[in-house]
Structure 1
Amino acid sequence: MQDLVRQLEAIIDRLTKELMAAHEAQAVTSDVLKLISQSAFDLDTVLTTLIRSAIDLCEATRGVVWLSRDGQLYLAAHVNYPEEWVSYARILALTPAADAVTTSAIAAFTGEVVNVEDIPNDPRFRSLTGHQLGDYRGGLAVPLKRDGKVVGVIAMSRPEARLFTDRQIALVHTFADQAVIAIENARLIVELEARNREVLSRYFSPGLAERLAGDAGALDLVGQRREVATIFTDIAGFTTLVETLEPDILGEMLNEYLAGMTSIVFAHEGTVAKIVGDALHVLFGAPGEQPDHAQRAIECALDLDAFAQVFRDTWLAKGIAIGTTRIGVNAGPAIVGNFGGGRFFDYTAYGDTINIAARLETANKQLGTRICVSENVTKQVADFHGRPVGDLMLRGRTERLRAFEPLRPGQQDEASGEDYAAAFAKLEAGDPGALGAFAVLVGRRSDDGLASFHLKRLLNGATGTKINMD
């Protein structure tokens, strides 16, 4: 009777320990899954967490995850290995094979669990060195499978010579399934980032596109009011030119032009909000903060103008006369954001600031200039170089807008900067001598479009700096 009682007590004790172990495994597994869900896109964290938890629950002392690439296994995560072994393993590539000398390589080749009681005394592993084995004897390798294909291996070992139990193997299988999910998530994220980067690179500078592709929440793309600087560009007479060109020539010309213009915008870290035909709408100060957005816009406009001039000369030498690229620049508040209606990415801006920039671009045709910028921009640019155009009365507006023609430092002397400033001062003061002053400027340089514009105004009886735009 006493023997029976002792047997029952032993059975109860064993079952109690197994039940406690099961509860512990369930609790740990729950915690692991919770952590994985919080770190879903951090593959290193997920794999390391899985190994550490498997070691704790399976009475192992070290563990590793190998991932398959081009038919070989490479180290992906490790726990409790000496640095000497880690350095060795980082340059190691395991080849899955029937006669492989590691549990992981055999598991990867067979697709089956490899559970070894005593590795040093197993003939399959006698070629392993002490450096590779350390003091470990019992080993377990469980393949990671996706759609039946081995994509990696999770392996563990311990210094005691004993097999891992069925319960422990089942637990590692659970962790292996979670590892496969994490690997697949990481792969999908990489693909998504690549697609995002391709789309975003059409609008944003490479650095900003990279940030947005990796973390769409890094910058707020929803509608918001921001201080921005904006540029509009357009080729004069482009529509008429299109009607005269063969499609292949038009395609070559337009692609070359847009590639050059957008590369300049991106070099200044601007955002291409829209391309319509040959026309560009560019933003600075959105979506990323750029305290110097006005300075960037001026420098970008000057570089765009320089490129467009060289582009015109290049194609003129081919017998195709391309019109002047006109550029308008303004700064101020605007509503910016992605207004694609949910189906399309359309990061753009709205507001009076944007409308004024577009009208300044058009104003160049009447003024004889190639670039026209508002005083809103020049006030924000330290050491601005340029010539005052006048006080424009733009269509649809009741207030005057002082505009300028920007120049590069040093270019002011070439453009008779001091003499122009003196002539414009006479114009502002209502001095009749303004007509003669502008006549002298045009006599020196017949290609000075702005001086010619003012001379024509004065010859037609206009006075002052107020200019009504058509």
Structure 2
Amino acid sequence: MQELIGDLEARIELLTKELRDAHETQKATADVLKVISRSAFDLDTVLTTLVRSAIGLCEATRGVIWLRKGEPLHLAAHVNYPEEWVKFAQDLAIIPAADAVTTSGLAAFTGEVVNVEDVPNDPRFRSLASHQLGDYRGGLAVPLKRDGSVIGTISLSRPEARLFTDRQIALVQTFADQAVIAIENARLISELEARNREVLSRYFSPNLAERLAGSADEIDLAGQRREIAAIFTDIAGFTTMIETIEPGVLGEMLNGYLAGMTFIVFAHEGTVAKIVGDALHVLFGAPSEQPDHAQRAVACALDLDAFAQSFRDTWRERGVALGATRIGVNAGSAIVGNFGGGRFFDYTAYGDTINIASRLEAANKQLGTRICVSESVAKQVTDFRGRPVGDLVLRGRTEQLRAFEPLRPDQYEDPATEGYLAAFAKLESGDPGALGAFAAEVGKRPDDQLTSFHLKRLLNGATGTRINMD
């Protein structure tokens, strides 16, 4: 009877241990799966977690994953190895071979599990610096297989000479399967990022394209209302010009122009929402928030103007009369998002803010300016420098809007600007001397088209700063 009780107690103890082991295995596997789902973009974290879990469940002390880069195996993850060994292993390339001097090299060559009781004393393995630095005896190497091909190994070790059990080998094989899934996920994610980056780089600055490609959830591309700044650009007389120019020349010129313009937009971390012919629609503050969106927009507009003028001069020397680039800038609330209908990528913006920016671009033609920005932009720019244009009543609107011509510091400090500002102050106050002041300025600088515009208005009987745009 006592013997029977003893047998039952032994069986109960064994079953309890098996149940406890099964519970620990199940918990460890669940934890690993959580890490994989949570860290899909971080392969290093996933592989390290797999190795650490395998060590804990298999009575090992150290673990490593080697992955193939070409033919050799290279270090991909490691747990509990001394720093000296890690430095050595980072430069190590293990060649899979029948006579490999490491368990990992042999497992990668045969595609079979290698379970060794005492590695340093096993005749198949010669003493190697990595063995001495790793300081292990019992070793296990399990191949990682994808579609039947070995892509790496997961290896465990312990300081005592002892084989790993069948149960422990089965556990490591499970973790090997999970590692392969994680590696494949990382590969697919990398390919998707590359494709996304290629598409997104056509619209967004390189930094923003990288963020969008790497994490689609980081920035919401769905329709949303945001505070933004918008730029519209257009080349004067471009439609008429293309009727008289050779296709090859047009292609060279337009591609060079758009490449230069978009390079500047991206340098200021703006978003190219649309390119229609020669015209650009640019956004700041979307899709990524930019608190200084107005400041960026003005700086970008000034750089676009400088490039366009230089580009225009270059083509004039080649006999092509390219018109001036006109630029309109406005800031305010707008609805922005990808409105491509699910089939196309069409990130754009809608609202009154956008319409005003477009009409400010068109207003340049009548005003004689090349850049026209709204007061809502100027107020948000630290140390804004510019000439007030007037209070514009834009086409299709009834309320007036104060507009400015932004200037670079050297332009603003030019005596011509001081003269213009004095004349405009007389115009704004209703001083009859405004006409004489503008006439004097035009006499000094007859090529100043904005000054000439105001003089013509006054000569035609207009007063004040309210200007109805055609």
What is the distance in 2 between the residues matched to 1:15 and 1:229? Answer: 70
What is the distance in 2 between the residues matched to 1:170 and 1:453? Answer: 86
What is the distance in 2 between the residues matched to 1:16 and 1:432? Answer: 104
Residue 467 (structure 1) aligns with: 467
- For the 8 Å contact 2:393–2:400, the answer to whether it is kept is yes
Residue 303 (structure 2) aligns with: 303
Q: Does 1:31 align with 2:52?
A: no
Shift of the 292–6 alpha-carbon distance from structure 1 to 2, 3 Å rule, reads: closer
- For the 8 Å contact 2:81–2:134, the answer to whether it is kept is no
Shift of the 338–99 alpha-carbon distance from structure 1 to 2, 3 Å rule, reads: same
Letter aligned with residue 247 of structure 2? P
**Structure 2 spans left out of the alignment, 5+ residues:** none
What is the distance in 1 between the residues matched to 2:402 and 2:142? Answer: 75
Shift of 1:330: 1.1
Residue 386 (structure 1) aligns with: 386
Count of residue correspondences:
470
Q: Does 1:287 align with 2:284?
A: no
Shift of 1:38: 2.8
Residue 400 (structure 1) aligns with: 400
Residue 81 (structure 1) aligns with: 81
Residue 58 (structure 1) aligns with: 58
Q: Does 1:213 align with 2:209?
A: no
Shift of 1:206: 2.1
What is the distance in 2 between the residues matched to 1:384 and 1:134? Answer: 65
What is the distance in 2 between the residues matched to 1:332 and 1:211? Answer: 25
**TM-score, normalising length: structure 1:** 0.93
Residue 250 (structure 1) aligns with: 250
Shift of 1:293: 1.9
Task: Encode CA deviations 1:216-266: one digit per residue, 9 max, x unaligned.
Answer: 222333222222221110001111222222222222111111111111112
Residue 114 (structure 1) aligns with: 114
Letter aligned with residue 116 of structure 2? V
Shift of 1:145: 0.8
What is the distance in 2 between the residues matched to 1:85 and 1:235? Answer: 64
What is the distance in 1 between the residues matched to 2:130 and 2:388? Answer: 82
**Structure 1 spans left out of the alignment, 5+ residues:** none
What is the distance in 2 between the residues matched to 1:323 and 1:237? Answer: 6
Superposed, 1:34-53 pairs within 5 Å as: 34-53=34-53
What is the distance in 2 between the residues matched to 1:299 and 1:159? Answer: 65
Superposed, 1:93-172 pairs within 5 Å as: 93-129=93-129, 131-132=131-132, 134-172=134-172
- For the 8 Å contact 1:222–1:338, the answer to whether it is kept is yes
Shift of the 438–183 alpha-carbon distance from structure 1 to 2, 3 Å rule, reads: same
- For the 8 Å contact 2:120–2:131, the answer to whether it is kept is no
Shift of the 458–63 alpha-carbon distance from structure 1 to 2, 3 Å rule, reads: same
What is the distance in 2 between the residues matched to 1:431 and 1:15? Answer: 103
Q: Does 1:72 align with 2:69?
A: no
Shift of 1:435: 2.7
Shift of 1:75: 0.8
Letter aligned with residue 322 of structure 2? I
Q: Secondary structure at the match of 1:189?
A: helix
RMSD, matched Cα: 2.3
**TM-score, normalising length: structure 2:** 0.93
- For the 8 Å contact 1:135–1:159, the answer to whether it is kept is yes
- For the 8 Å contact 1:59–1:158, the answer to whether it is kept is yes
- For the 8 Å contact 1:41–1:182, the answer to whether it is kept is no
What is the distance in 2 between the residues matched to 1:175 and 1:459? Answer: 87
Q: Secondary structure at the match of 1:178?
A: helix
Shift of 1:450: 0.8
- For the 8 Å contact 1:229–1:332, the answer to whether it is kept is yes
- For the 8 Å contact 2:85–2:133, the answer to whether it is kept is no
What is the distance in 1 between the residues matched to 2:298 and 2:176? Answer: 57
What is the distance in 2 between the residues matched to 1:200 and 1:442? Answer: 48
What is the distance in 1 between the residues matched to 2:134 and 2:220? Answer: 52
Shift of the 101–302 alpha-carbon distance from structure 1 to 2, 3 Å rule, reads: same
312-321 or 74-83, which deviates more? 74-83
153-162 or 212-221, which deviates more? 212-221
What is the distance in 1 between the residues matched to 2:385 and 2:193? Answer: 42
Shift of 1:5: 8.4
What is the distance in 1 between the residues matched to 2:150 and 2:237? Answer: 62
